[in-house]
Structure 1
Amino acid sequence: MSETNTPVADVSSPPPTPVPKSGGATLTQAVIVCVGLVALLALGLAWQSQQRLRQTEQELVRRQETSQSEANIARDQARQAQDQSRDTAAKVALLDARLAEVALQREQLEVLMQSMTRSRDENVVGDIEASLRVAMQQSSITGSAEPLVAALSQADERLARYKQPRLEGVRRAVSRDLDRVKAVGVVDISSLTIKLDEISRQIDELPLLAVAQAARDPNPPQSSTTRAAKRGTVAAIGAAPAASAASEASWWSRAWDDAGDKWDQLSADVWREARGLLRVTRIDHPEAALIAPEQGFFLRENLKLRLLNARLALLSRQFDTAQGDLREAQAMLDRYFDGRSRKLAITAELLRQVQGQSRQVTVPRPDDTLAALSAVAR
């Protein structure tokens, strides 16, 4: 604001008045001077107040303009804040709606996962139980524990990969049943069949009792060489005292000795043949000694058939039938073959080993695993 010039009162001294020559004139002048001073002081104070008022008005106008601008700014910010709050409220409402949808989807997903987990557990339990049932049937048919051991091992590996706490009890039951089944001694059918094949191969080399009795001679005749050696020994003993007499023997004595040797050899051969016509021996089974040579072939073939029947019975897990055939084969070996033969002793030992190992083995049932599977499936 521009300053306005205020008319200043003319404070010039009044026109001179005649001053009385008394003391009252001096008092009047002093009063006038005081009044003038007071007027000047009042005029200064008024001017100073006017300047302060003008400055105050200017400050008020400036502050009012500042307040107005700040109010406008605040109004704009309030409008913006209101718009933002309105947008935020809309977004919050949208987020609430989406959160509700997500919560609903999560609940549905959890229900679906639980149903899938239960169905997966049920599938695992069903597969393990079905495999165990099939393995039990195979073990009962074959008489071997290998199918059941394989099924339990596969179930243990599958449960270890699955890692479901709900099925830990089933896994512990599988481990117990697996240890119990492995502890059962099983029959090695392959080794038994190999031994039976070896026995069948040795049948053709075993000596029959009839042939062995004919070949065995308790007092074999001495040959001419043996007799000559004996005579030579006797002659050597009496050679010293009779050396001079032998030198004086004539040719006819040597011829007589040669004729005696030939006669002894001829008589020994005749006696050996005559003694072979009649033998006296002890035979526990007379029918074994009466077997003709052509019947020995059929005897061996019948024995091989017995062993073959025993082999087939072992392969089909019919251990009672196999034991019967093996007993018959052992009886035939003891009755018709020479018991002094070393080959027969080896064959009989193999046959006894097969008899001792051919036994029925009861494979234990995996009852713990089946009970655990039933408990989980409920």
Structure 2
Amino acid sequence: MSSLPPAPPPEPSVLPAPAPAAPLPPPESRATGLARATLFALTLLAAAALLSSVMLWQRLSAIQEQLARQSADSGANAIEARALARQAQDVARDTAARQTVLETRLSEVALQRTQLEDLIQSLSRTRDENLVVDVESALRLAQQQTQLTGSAEPLLAALRTADQRLERAAQPRLARLRAAIAHDTERIRSAAVTDVPGLLARLDDIVRQVDELPVANAVPARALTESPRRGTAPADAAWWQRWRDAVLEEARGLVRVSRIDQPEAMLVAPEQAFFLRENLKLKLLNVRLSLLARQNDAARADVATATATLNKYFDPSSRRTQSVATQLQQVQAQVRSAELPRVDETMAALATAAAGK
């Protein structure tokens, strides 16, 4: 392998000569160009801002128009909704009125049906059966009135009316019923029944008198209204004598000696007298309620409690206290524990007559 011949040495490169530099513009022309460029940029910026403002204003105008249209649509929808709601209310009222009319007609039809059924039943009964049913209904109603009022007069009146109707009927098979009515009438007349209306009126009178009752530790009215005073100086006496007599008289009024058998009555303060009277009124009202509830034992116990309170805390020497105590004793005597009369024998005879025996 033969070796290559050595390369020739490189020739020195010849650089081109630099071009001569352009002459620099003067400083005044450079400042003018810079000012023009700045002015042009500001003009472009102002134009862009104006254009964006115009576009934004147009967009705001479009949004306002859209909002106005939406507001108008909402107002129209609200008006339409109110109109529909008003129509719905009118329809609901009409429906309610029609329902009321229908219910009224339905109740009338039901009443007519009931009356028709009663008429059919009454036509299916015989004359005697109708008489027995009417007498039984009247007696049961009178029994309820007697229990409510505490008076035997409604029951006696019903028995008399029943006897008169049976007498006009003149049916031999109802003779046993007339005998039972006569027996119950005599038994009711001889029974002792509490006169509840009279007792209630008397209790109301006692309650009205409670506010005027003097308590046991009250100063007697006669001590405050004595006409001539003891040891009063004559009108022509000296001033110091009249002054002395007035002072002595006032000093005598500061001390009062009286006898009170109940020590609790002495401890009652003047402002507690109101509550004492109200408590007595409540006891009397309890008596009234017990009489209305036909609880004669409780009424007698309440009357005894009211009498004990009257004798314990009020002045026994007062005429008003004595009058109220007398009335309470009369109420206690009139409250009886006898049961209200019943017409069991008549009801049994009616059941036998209704059975056709």
Query: TM-score, normalization: structure 1?
Result: 0.52
1:180 corresponds to = 187
Of 205, 208, 215, 1:201 maps to: 208
Number of residue equivalences: 231
Comparing 294-303 with 367-376, greater Cα deviation is found at 367-376
Give the aligned partner of residue 22 of structure 1.
none
Deviation of 1:292 after TM superposition, in Å, equals 1.9
Q: Identify the residue that residue 162 of structure 2 maps to in structure 1.
A: 155
How much does 1:132 deviate?
A: 3.6
CA RMSD of aligned residues (A): 3.3
Alpha carbons 1:143, 1:360 under 8 Å: kept: no
Following TM superposition, by how much is the alpha carbon of 1:263 offset from its aligned partner in structure 2, in angstroms? 5.2
> Of 280, 294, 319, which residue of structure 2 is paired with 1:303?
280
Deviations 1:301-358 (A, max 9, x none): 1211221221122222221222222222211211121111112222221221112112
Percent of residue pairs bearing the same amino acid type: 51
**Higher Rg:** 1
Checking the alignment, whether the CA contact within 8 Å between 2:150 and 2:195 is kept in structure 1 is: no
Distance 1:135 1:272, change over 3 A: same
State the partner residue of 1:345: 322
Distance, in Å, in 2 between the alignment partners of 1:267 and 1:275 is 12
Matches within 5 A, 1:1-16: none
| Offset, 1:373 | 3.6
Corresponding residue for 1:329?
A: 306
The corresponding residue for 1:94 is: none
Gaps of 5+ in 2: 1-122
Once residues 258 and 321 of structure 1 are traced to their aligned partners in structure 2, the CA distance between those partners, rounded to angstroms, is 66
1:224 equivalent in alignment to 2:201: no
Match of 1:169 among 170, 176, 184: 176
Preserved CA contact (<8 Å) 2:299 2:335: yes
Q: Distance in 1 between matches of 2:247 and 2:219?
A: 23
Q: Deviations over 1:211-257 (max 9, x none)?
A: 1369749x9961424xx49xxxxxxxxxxxxxxxxxxxxxxxxxxx9
Distance 2:221 2:177 in 1: 72
- In the alignment, the residues of structure 2 paired with residue 273 and residue 126 of structure 1 have an alpha-carbon distance, to the nearest angstrom, of 82
Distance in 1 of aligned mates of 2:328 and 2:176: 47
TM-score of the two chains, using structure 2 as the length reference: 0.55
**1:173–1:368 CA contact under 8 A, matched in 2:** yes
Could you tell me which amino acid in structure 1 is paired with residue 319 of structure 2?
A: R
What is the 5 A alignment of 1:17-56?
none
Distance 1:215 1:292, change over 3 A: farther
CA distance in 2, matches of 1:118, 1:271: 96
2: CA distance between counterparts of 1:205 and 1:374?
Answer: 57
Give deviations 1:71-123, integer Å, cap 9, x for gaps: xxxxxxxxxxxxxxxxxxxxxxxxxxxxxxxxxxxxxxxxxxxxx99944344
> Are the aligned partners of 1:143 and 1:363 in contact in 2 as well (CA < 8 Å)?
yes
Which 5+ residue runs of structure 1 have no aligned equivalent? Answer: 1-115, 230-256
Structure 1 residue 176 displacement after superposition: 2.4
Tell me if structure 1 keeps the 8 A contact 2:215–2:273: yes
SS in 2 for 1:306: helix
Counterpart residue identity of residue 322, structure 2: A
* Greater mean deviation of Cα atoms: 275-284 or 155-164: 275-284
Greater share of residues in helix: 1
- In structure 2, distance between residues paired with 1:202 and 1:118: 59
Q: Secondary structure at the match of 2:218?
A: helix
CA distance 1:316–1:258, change in 2 (3 Å): closer
The 10-residue stretch of structure 1 (355-364 or 323-332) with the greater mean CA deviation from structure 2: 355-364
